[in-house]
């Protein structure tokens, strides 16, 4: 980014900042929940861009909260142990040994990498799991078969959220810190649960009454049947796209979580192409679309 800025004339830099001012004013003091995953998590240049974006949002008066995934990193760690990941209907089957790996990778390696990147970029990040401050209580997910609802799959220590107590997140925000949250919940017997990160981000955005929820992905956004980006979608339009098969497969749970957040009062939900440098910043501080915005409509 530094090399690019050096080629921009000072007057043009001032114009760029002036154009961002209405958006800075609009979102000042507002909470923005960011699901961080995909290429943005594995490409070093995109990692640095992401950290700079988060710090800039905090410095101009917004309250970013980061929820991260880590599927590729978990898979790599399991591979080193001679273990292969197994999925049922898109959910990782998580036995006790896999859960240990999930906790070590997400709450250790991945979370601390993100915290370090944000701190290096000039922010003050703090890592949390669902245990910290009793943030996220969970129970075992009872997953019904898509084809036969009477059939139930046992996916091990995969959880669904029972409740979120955002007190610790709010306390950190009020003290100028940036929370970085691993999607691990805890049960009534202190057992750990692996929870889908998109779902955690959506529920957290609802509980925090966030202004925006941003889901970074490996795709441009929601595409129509011609492969064209749909920059805005309402809940009614989404129902049509699901019914005709335009939205299918792995995009279904992401869209479902996004739509739940929009219906629960999150003003705007964005599915953002995390492969575009500074896409998140461009989405928030300009009228340029780098993904799909979902609203309750």
For residues 54 and 33, the answer to whether their CB atoms sit within 8 Å is no
Q: In 274-286, which positions are buried (b, 16+ CB within 10 angstroms) versus exposed (e)? A: bbbbbbbbbbbbe
Residue 71 annotated as binding site? yes
For residues 115 and 126, the answer to whether their CB atoms sit within 8 Å is yes
Contacts of residue 190, defined as CB under 8 A and 6 or more positions apart, other chains included, come to none
Give Cα separations from 17 to 7, 11, 135, 277 (angstroms). 16, 10, 37, 18
d(CA 85, CA 75): 6
Residue 190 annotated as binding site? no
d(CA 238, CA 221): 13
Give Cα separations from 249 to 32, 202, 233, 240 (angstroms). 27, 19, 18, 15
Residue list, annotated binding site: 70-71, 92, 194
Residue list, annotated binding site for substrate: 70-71, 92, 194
């Amino acid at each position: 980014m530094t090399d690019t800025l050096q080629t921009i004339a000072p007057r043009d830099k001032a114009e760029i900042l002036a154009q961002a001012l209405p958006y800075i004013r609009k979102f000042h003091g507002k909470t923005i929940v960011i699901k961080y995953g995909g290429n943005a998590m594995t490409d070093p240049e995109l990692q640095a861009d992401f950290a700079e974006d988060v710090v800039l949002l905090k410095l101009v008066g917004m309250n970013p909260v980061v929820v991260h995934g880590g599927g590729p990193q978990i898979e790599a760690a399991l591979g080193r142990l001679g273990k292969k990941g197994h999925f049922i209907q898109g959910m990782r089957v998580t036995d006790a040994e896999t859960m240990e790996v999930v906790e070590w990778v997400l709450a250790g390696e991945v979370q601390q990498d993100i915290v370090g990147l944000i701190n290096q970029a000039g922010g003050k990040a703090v890592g949390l799991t669902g245990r910290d401050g009793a943030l996220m209580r969970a129970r075992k997910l009872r997953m019904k078969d898509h084809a036969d609802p009477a059939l139930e799959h046992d996916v091990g220590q995969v959880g669904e959220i029972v409740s979120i107590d955002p007190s610790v997140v709010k306390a950190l925000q009020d003290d100028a810190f940036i929370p970085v949250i691993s999607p691990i919940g805890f049960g009534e017997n202190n057992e750990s649960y692996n929870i889908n990160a998109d779902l955690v981000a959506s529920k957290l955005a609802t509980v925090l009454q966030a202004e925006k929820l941003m889901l970074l992905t490996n795709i441009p956004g929601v595409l129509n049947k011609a492969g064209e980006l749909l920059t805005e979608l309402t809940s009614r339009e989404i129902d049509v796209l699901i019914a005709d098969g335009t939205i299918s497969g792995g995009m279904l749970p992401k869209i479902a979580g996004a739509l739940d957040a929009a219906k629960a009062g999150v003003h705007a939900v964005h599915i953002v192409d995390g492969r575009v440098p500074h896409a998140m910043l461009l989405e928030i501080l300009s009228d340029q679309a780098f993904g799909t915005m979902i609203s309750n409509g």
